[in-house]
Structures are given as C-alpha cells and as structure tokens.
Structure 1
Amino acid sequence: MTTTLRPAGEERRGPDGFRARNYTVCVNSRPVGSVELSCGEAFGPAVGTIAALTIDAPDRRRGRGAVAALAGEEVLRSWGCRVVKIAVPVEAEYALRLASALCYAERSRHLRKELGAERELPPGSSVRALGAAGYEPWLDRVRRDAADSVTGLGFSREAAEAWARDGARLLPYDAAGTVPEGVALLGVTHGGEDVAAMWLRTAEPAWVYAVEVAEEHRGRGHGRTAMLAAENAAGVAGARTIGLNVFTGNAPAEALYASLGYRTVVRHFTKPLV
C-alpha cells in the first residue's frame, strides 16, 4: 500500500516567505487523515512546520503517521526548508514515540501552572516597574541569550537573531516610554540592589517571556523570587494560569519551575532536512 499526501485547498502565501497548505493523507487514494504544512513564520522561510497530523482511528498503528510525516518533510524540502519543527502535547504518547523514531530532537518545553493566592516575597526583596532606561540594556542581553539558545539546534544564526528581534516587538514602548497594557516589565531588588528582571504578559493566559538574574547575584534564590513576583503580577491582573518556555538542557531552570509547581504541556522538537 502507498501512503501519499494530496493537496486539500489552495496554498496560502504571505510576506517574508510565508506559505502554508493543508493536505489529505491517502492510502492508495483512500483518505485516512490530514496534515498542515507551513514555513516562513517566526524563524523565516528556511524553517518548516508539520502540524495537526491526524490519522483516522481505523488506520492508526499501521505506520500511516510515520509515512505521512516523512512525506511532509519532502514537501518542506521542496519549498527550500532546511529545518522542520513540530509541537507535541505531552498526552499524545504515540506522537512522542513517532518523533523519537523519526530522529526529532527536543529543543524546548512549554510549561503551565494554575495561579492561586498571592505569594509573599522573601524578606528584603521588592518589585518595581522597569523604565525604558533600565529596560533597553536588559533586553539586549535577553535577545542575545535567546539567539544563542536556538543556534546549534538546526537554526542559522541569522534566523535565530531574527527570531529574537521579532520577540522584542511584542513589547514596544510608546513615545512617552509607557509599557503597553497587558505587559509587565519588572525588576526585583534585594537589600537595595537590583538583582533580577522579568518580562511577561499578564493577560490570560499569562506568559513569562524572559527572566534574568544578574550574574553576580545568581545562586541565591532570586530567580525564585522573580517567578513569584511574575505570578503575583499576573494574578492581580486577573490571569488564572501562567506559562513559559524552557529550553532543553537548562537543568537549573527546569528544577526551579518544577519546585514551583509548573508542569509540561507541550514538547517542541526539530530536525534538520539537509
């Protein structure tokens, strides 16, 4: 039997090399599932995405999903993609096994936590809003670290830096230097010294874009304080849940988030196509 992809609908195109198309998964021309392919999103046209791969129940566990994924990779190669990425919910056990069998490498995880009552910060610690003067140097470091985190995972340096720059656009200051509604830029002080900074979306679902502890103050619990402050800010703004992304291999961060009650909800994988 032959498993193929048949276009389902017109191809969609957009700026910066964006293109996407839905396909029907067929076995000997018989429809058995569907998949969506795209490229040109956050990481540029060289990075493709396989999403919403579904095989109908009667045809599952026969290798249809694996062949459909490989066929999707071939389509993305024909589009000029050099890397493919996928996102797999943790409860999708078969999809996780499939990602491993097809040699995808995990690059990050999305974590989530239900927010509860406001938490008290450690004695001597306080939180303040960051102004433009304090924000710009910090954001430069965050952008650099973000680009470093994805370089070497199959993304070019150019694509990684473009991704980091795009992320920065989520929180532009206006002419008066005011942070947009629903975004918080906060600094943590301890004993009168600035020890950490964070950037988060406070609207539901709240999201922590970045947390940074000053190098000379690391290993003293200030990262935990910053996370508690982020959760408090989100809760005060009315959010019920808060999430974040952690890159694979960042053991200290993973341990911190686990201790605070965060759980993995989605795992992100990549694979080179060349």
Structure 2
Amino acid sequence: MTTTLRPAGPGRDGVYSICANGRSVGGVHLTPLGPWGAGTGWILHIQVLPSRRRRGHACVAMLAAEEIMRGRRCTRMAAAVPEGNRAATGLVQALGYAPDSRRLAAPVRATGLPPGVRMMDPDERDAWCAAELHRCAADLRAAGWAAPVAQARAQARLDHPTAPAPYTLGEGAVVWVAHGVILALTAPTPADAATLLRAAGHVTATQGLHEVAIELPDDTHAKVCTGAGFAPRTRYWGKPIL
C-alpha cells in the first residue's frame, strides 16, 4: 500500500489529500506562515477517515508534509494538537516533535480597567517593543532555538503595527492584547500579572469578543492564568527539519 499527498485542487493552497493507492483517505492543511514567523512550517490540521486509521497514513502524511515545507525553505516544523488528543500527541512524539508551548483561553466580560492600568503612549510603546523583542529572542535562544529562527519567532510575536498600544501598570508590568489574543505579558509579581489579565479581558470584551487567549512558552504565568479562569486548549509541538 502506497500513501501519498496530492494537492486538493485550485484555490486550496496548502490543502492536500492523503491518498492510499490513489484513493483519498483523509487530508492535511499546511502553511509556511504562522505565529512563529518565517522559517517554520505549520501542520494546521490533519485527519484520516475513521475506517482507515491505525494504518500509518497520518505518519507518512506528516513526513511528506515535512518534505513539502523543507522545499519551501522552512527549517522547523510545528504542529497544533488539541489538548487531550492522545492519538495526535502520540503521533507527534513518535516523529520527534517536542512540546513547545501551550495556548490557554478564558471567557471575558467588560468590567472596566483595573485601577492603575493605562495605555502606553507611542514613545513608551516603541521603547518597550524593542526591549521585549530582545528579551523574547534571548529566551528562545536559551531554550535551544537557533538564533535566526528565534529572532523570526520573536519578531512575529511583536510585529503588529496596527494593534492598539500595550497597557501598563508601570515598573515593567505590561500586557499587550489584540483581536482576542494576548501578544505579550510581562509582570514582576503574580499580583501584577493577575491585574493585567483582568485588563486584557476587559479590553477584549469591549471589542465584542467572548474570550481571550494566551500562548505560554513556559510556566512563568501558568498558575496565575489558571487562577484567572484560563483553561488549556492547544499544545504546540515543534522540531527542526534542517
């Protein structure tokens, strides 16, 4: 039995059919663009028909996806796995992917900005973004990311020129939220982090959205996020494909 990937058709860029002996048994959606910046290929979604599972189709499809992304000059792969999906987790682990970060989300409501929280002015925003870019890239390099890929991921995280300015409590306590996603959260104390999370929730609610999400690359703010009602939704996995 031969498993291959075939383009799904015109107007469906990045969507491929998983074929076994020429017959479609599932599909996969790939993109060289994503929240980690240039150079990282994403497996956004993969599915195999229930009657064709446990036959290795998904494994072969993911290996083929890596070759496709390598051909598009990607040096790293990433996969988004729904929290609690054991089958998908086992697959990415078997293929050498390592856990990278986790996306959490919480419902929001407009309660007003907490006392002391204010929006940054333009000069503050520019200075903070420059410092945060350096800090984020340094943290990623320390975690084992190659310098160019770490820089690209940090840049993608902070490259939102049309997003509203970050909010601050002063003394390094900053939250930046846009379109229902917390782009950055820096806080010297758990109390500051909790206050800024409330601010992010209020801002998100005033935009007509029902929940706010955050990606946590480590456990620095995990406890305070859980206490604020955030629940895990997605685990991100990654590996180099040099």
TM over 0.5: yes
Q: What are the residue-to-residue correspondences of 1:114-263 with 2, within 5 Å?
A: 114-116=107-109, 118=111, 121=114, 125-151=115-141, 155-172=145-162, 183-189=164-170, 194=171, 196-201=173-178, 203=179, 206-213=180-187, 218-219=188-189, 221-247=191-217, 250-263=218-231
Cα distance, 1:220 vs. partner? Answer: 5.9
TM (norm. structure 2) is 0.85
Distance in 2 (CA, whole Å) between partners of 1:153 and 1:69 is 25
Matched residue, 1:67:
60
Question: CA 1:104–1:232 in structure 2 vs 1: closer, same or farther (change >3 Å)?
Answer: same
Cα distance, 1:246 vs. partner? Answer: 0.6
Letter in 2 for 1:209: L
Tell whether the 8 Å contact from 2:110 to 2:201 is kept in structure 1 after alignment.
no
Q: Larger % of strand: which?
A: 1
Tell whether the 8 Å contact from 2:216 to 2:222 is kept in structure 1 after alignment.
yes
Tell whether the 8 Å contact from 2:182 to 2:214 is kept in structure 1 after alignment.
yes
Cα distance, 1:225 vs. partner? Answer: 1.6
| Structure 2 residues without counterparts, runs of 5 or longer | none
Distance in 2 (CA, whole Å) between partners of 1:48 and 1:78 is 10
Cα distance, 1:111 vs. partner? Answer: 0.8
Question: CA 1:155–1:229 in structure 2 vs 1: closer, same or farther (change >3 Å)?
Answer: same
Q: What are the residue-to-residue correspondences of 1:9-24 with 2, within 5 Å?
A: 9=9, 21-24=14-17
Letter in 2 for 1:9: G
The percent identity for this pair of structures is: 27
Question: CA 1:152–1:22 in structure 2 vs 1: closer, same or farther (change >3 Å)?
Answer: farther
Q: CA RMSD in A?
A: 2.7
- Counterpart of 2:30 (choices 37, 43, 56) is 37
Question: CA 1:269–1:53 in structure 2 vs 1: closer, same or farther (change >3 Å)?
Answer: same
Matched residue, 2:101:
108
Matched residue, 2:2:
2
Distance in 1 (CA, whole Å) between partners of 2:172 and 2:75 is 40
Letter in 2 for 1:231: G
Letter in 1 for 2:230: Y
Tell whether the 8 Å contact from 2:190 to 2:224 is kept in structure 1 after alignment.
no
Matched residue, 2:232:
264
Distance in 1 (CA, whole Å) between partners of 2:143 and 2:99 is 9
Cα distance, 1:195 vs. partner? Answer: 5.0
Higher normalized contact order (CA 8 Å, seq sep 6+, divided by chain length): 2
Distance in 1 (CA, whole Å) between partners of 2:70 and 2:207 is 44
Question: CA 1:144–1:27 in structure 2 vs 1: closer, same or farther (change >3 Å)?
Answer: same
Cα distance, 1:164 vs. partner? Answer: 3.0
TM (norm. structure 1) is 0.77
1:170-198: per-residue Cα shift (whole Å, max 9, x none)? 134xxxxxxx6xx2421115xxxx45122
Q: Secondary structure at the match of 1:118?
A: coil
Q: Secondary structure at the match of 1:251?
A: coil
Distance in 2 (CA, whole Å) between partners of 1:8 and 1:33 is 11
Distance in 2 (CA, whole Å) between partners of 1:242 and 1:225 is 15
Bigger Rg, structure 1 or 2: 1
| Structure 1 residues without counterparts, runs of 5 or longer | 13-19, 173-179
Question: CA 1:195–1:73 in structure 2 vs 1: closer, same or farther (change >3 Å)?
Answer: closer
Question: CA 1:130–1:66 in structure 2 vs 1: closer, same or farther (change >3 Å)?
Answer: same
The alignment covers a number of residue pairs equal to 241
